[in-house]
């Protein structure tokens, strides 16, 4: 898919044209340009309430008189005073999705020439995300990506938006791929290709190296599977030589059957998405490298498959994590925290100044916050605020959960230092985070539980069902702010 800044006038464009329209106000900017070229057509449609400009609303006009375009799609931008990067993303995505019902050549977006760079970036990303679906293996595609996307706006911002859109779609594709294709070794291969393409350094630890590195907690989860585990370490050295890196850590369970604590069918159905945290880290690292952000950032992805077999780890097993802490296994389905325990330890060893981890960690987080909102948990309020503010700026939904010390009492062990589950299911998102906190050695750390927002069963008006690529844009924004 080609993406470029459009310079020409709307009325002269021979592409399919998408024109943004604010709600409850007369036409302005590009919508006024279209109105003039079509001798007042847009104003008449507004008058008759055929379109109101409500956010995400669309109205196709086939070859209207006065313009060269064969198809003009009007799209509502909502109230002008409510516009932000998240709404720019979703409005463009909704328009793009609507057009993707058929294969299209060039589609040119004319939203608002006065937009600041971030809004343009997120708008362009939305245009790219909206027309890509989860139908990777359907002969007759439900969504057809446009051959070319044009955006009337500053070329530097359009280019940065292209990088964001590519990165979100990379994450989505990896999560949407079936677990027979994406397993630890193949994910690591994908990461190596991404690294080569965008100039990231990469290190891949195989099962032997993981054993040499004493990653006993991660290895225990992997031991039930015929697929050997991997740890991917990506490095973007954009900062000053002596600077400590920011670390992005991802849960990469390429399939979570639950292990011997086997999940029932319906709970297992979408467990190919249990590597979404890892895919989000890879997508974000891709963007950070391509945007050449001036900050050292490392990305660490713990890759395992959690399976039941004669060689599985067992209930009652005692594991020794890389940090030296011992863990009593009470449920093999609480495997994400076991993987992250060792990966977080490597992040600390690599000198991380701040850590963010992303994981489809608990169903309990979805019970607490619903399917569209990520849970934030932290040991450092300032660092959590930085993540929360970045998410807000991008229009990605996140909400902080408390980390009172009392929650940690639930995971104190009687046989080993800690247990891998709390007592009963209450507060399960937080007891899981309390477990992770044991392995970050008091470094500023924020945990993002994306069990809900990483994947949707039903399509949204602006995005197909399946993987969402949620929090790729937020991570890029966090790193950008950390550069300032």
Given 57, 256, 357, 396, the residue binding ligand BES (CB under 6 A):
256
Given 15, 223, 257, 360, the residue binding ligand BES (CB under 6 A):
360
Alpha carbon distance 221, 227 (integer Å): 11
Alpha carbon distance 72, 107 (integer Å): 10
Do 118 and 390 touch, CB atoms closer than 8 A? Answer: no
Which one of ligand BES, Mn ion, Zn ion, none interacts with residue 331, CB within 5 to 8 A by kind?
ligand BES
Alpha carbon distance 377, 2 (integer Å): 39
Q: Which stretch binds Mn ion (CB under 5 A): 138-146, 330-338, 375-383, 408-416?
A: 330-338
Q: Does residue number 421 form part of the binding site for ligand BES (CB under 6 A)?
A: yes
Nearer to ligand BES, 88 or 366 (CB): 366
Q: Does residue number 477 form part of the binding site for Mn ion (CB under 5 A)?
A: no
Considering all CA atoms of the chain, what is the largest pairwise distance in Å, rounded to the nearest integer?
Answer: 80
- Neighbour order of strands in the sheet with 318-320: 318-320, 326-328, 418-419
Q: Does residue number 477 form part of the binding site for ligand BES (CB under 6 A)?
A: no
Minimum CB separation of residue 470 from ligand BES in Å reads: 12
Catalytic residue among 214, 263, 350, 460: 263
Strands 148-151, 2-5: parallel, antiparallel or unpaired by DSSP? parallel
Alpha carbon distance 464, 133 (integer Å): 5
Q: Does residue number 256 form part of the binding site for Mn ion (CB under 5 A)?
A: yes
Alpha carbon distance 70, 395 (integer Å): 33
H or E segment at 200?
Answer: none
Interface with Zn ion: number of residues (CB under 5 A):
4
Nearer to ligand BES, 26 or 178 (CB): 178
Dihedral angle at the C-alpha atoms of 353, 347, 436, 405, nearest 10 degrees?
Answer: -30
Token reading at 214: 């004493």
Q: Does residue number 357 form part of the binding site for Zn ion (CB under 5 A)?
A: no
Which one of Zn ion, Mn ion, ligand BES, none interacts with residue 363, CB within 5 to 8 A by kind?
ligand BES
Nearer to Mn ion, 31 or 332 (CB): 332
Given 336, 375, 428, 452, the residue binding Zn ion (CB under 5 A):
336
Nearer to ligand BES, 176 or 362 (CB): 362
Which one of Zn ion, ligand BES, Mn ion, none interacts with residue 438, CB within 5 to 8 A by kind?
none
Closest residue to bound Zn ion by CB: 256
Minimum CB separation of residue 258 from ligand BES in Å reads: 6
Dihedral angle at the C-alpha atoms of 268, 270, 274, 276, nearest 10 degrees?
Answer: 180
Cα distance from N-terminal residue to C-terminal residue, the chain: 32
H or E segment at 473?
Answer: helix 472-483
Nearer to Zn ion, 363 or 461 (CB): 363
Residue numbers 292-331 binding Zn ion by CB under 5 A: none
Alpha carbon distance 111, 31 (integer Å): 8
Nearer to Mn ion, 236 or 272 (CB): 272
Residues in the chain: 484
Q: Does residue number 273 form part of the binding site for Zn ion (CB under 5 A)?
A: no
CA angle 383-388-389, nearest 5°?
100
Catalytic residue among 98, 104, 172, 337: 337
Q: Which of 122, 154, 117 is nearest to 5 (CA)?
A: 154
Neighbours of 200 (CB within 10 A): 23
Q: Does residue number 274 form part of the binding site for ligand BES (CB under 6 A)?
A: yes
Q: Which of 359, 354, 368, 353 is nearest to 341 (CA)?
A: 359
Could you tell me which residues are beta bridge partners of residue 58?
A: 75
Do 120 and 165 touch, CB atoms closer than 8 A? Answer: no
Asked if 214 is an active-site residue, the reply is no
Q: Does residue number 35 form part of the binding site for Zn ion (CB under 5 A)?
A: no
Q: Which stretch binds Mn ion (CB under 5 A): 141-149, 230-238, 250-258, 294-302?
A: 250-258
Nearer to ligand BES, 273 or 477 (CB): 273
Asked if 337 is an active-site residue, the reply is yes
Minimum CB separation of residue 243 from Zn ion in Å reads: 33
The catalytic residues are 263, 337
**Residues near ligand BES, by CB under 6 A:** 256, 274, 331, 333-336, 360-364, 421, 428, 451
Residues that bind Mn ion in the complex, under the rule CB under 5 A: 256, 333, 335
């Amino acid at each position: 898919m080609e993406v470029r800044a459009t310079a020409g006038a709307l009325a002269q464009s021979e592409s399919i044209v998408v024109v943004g329209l604010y709600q409850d106000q007369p036409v302005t900017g590009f919508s006024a340009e279209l109105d003039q070229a079509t001798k007042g057509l847009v104003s008449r449609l507004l008058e008759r309430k055929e379109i109101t400009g409500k956010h995400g609303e669309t109205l196709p006009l086939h070859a209207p008189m006065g313009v060269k375009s064969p198809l003009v799609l009007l799209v509502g931008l909502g109230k002008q005073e409510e516009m932000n990067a998240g709404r720019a993303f979703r409005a463009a995505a909704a328009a793009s999705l609507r057009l993707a019902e058929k294969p299209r050549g060039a589609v040119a977006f004319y939203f608002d020439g006065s937009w600041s760079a971030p809004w343009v970036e997120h708008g362009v990303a939305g245009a790219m995300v909206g027309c890509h679906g989860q139908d990777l293996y359907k002969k007759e595609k439900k969504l057809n990506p446009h051959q070319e996307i044009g955006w009337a706006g500053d070329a530097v911002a359009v280019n940065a938006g292209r990088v964001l859109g590519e990165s979100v779609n990379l994450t989505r594709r990896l999560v949407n791929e079936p677990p027979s294709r994406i397993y630890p070794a193949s994910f690591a291969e994908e990461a190596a290709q991404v690294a080569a393409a965008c100039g990231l350094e990469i290190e891949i630890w195989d099962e032997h190296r993981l054993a040499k590195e004493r990653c006993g907690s991660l290895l225990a989860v992997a031991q039930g599977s015929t697929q050997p585990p991997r740890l991917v370490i990506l490095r973007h050295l954009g900062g000053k030589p002596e600077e400590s890196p920011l670390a992005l850590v991802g849960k990469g369970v390429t399939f979570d059957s639950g292990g011997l604590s086997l999940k029932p069918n319906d709970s297992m159905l979408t467990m190919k998405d249990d590597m979404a945290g890892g895919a989000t880290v890879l997508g974000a690292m891709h963007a950070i490298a391509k945007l050449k952000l001036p900050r050292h950032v490392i990305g660490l992805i713990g890759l395992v498959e959690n399976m039941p077999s004669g060689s599985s780890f067992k209930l009652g097993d005692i594991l020794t994590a890389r940090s030296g802490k011992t863990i009593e296994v009470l449920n093999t389905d609480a495997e994400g925290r076991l993987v992250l325990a060792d990966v977080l330890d490597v992040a600390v060893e690599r000198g991380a100044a701040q850590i963010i981890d992303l994981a489809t960690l608990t169903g309990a987080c979805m019970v607490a916050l619903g399917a569209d909102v990520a849970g934030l948990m932290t040991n450092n309020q300032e660092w959590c605020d930085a993540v929360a503010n970045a998410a807000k700026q991008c229009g990605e939904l996140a909400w902080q959960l408390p980390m009172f010390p009392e929650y940690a009492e639930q995971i104190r062990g009687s046989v080993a230092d800690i247990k891998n589950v709390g007592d009963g299911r209450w507060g399960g998102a937080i007891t899981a985070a309390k477990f992770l906190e044991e392995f970050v050695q008091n470094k500023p750390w924020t945990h993002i539980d994306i069990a809900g927002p990483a994947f949707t069963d039903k399509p949204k008006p602006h995005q197909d069902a399946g993987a969402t690529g949620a929090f790729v844009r937020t991570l890029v924004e966090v790193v950008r702010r950390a550069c300032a």
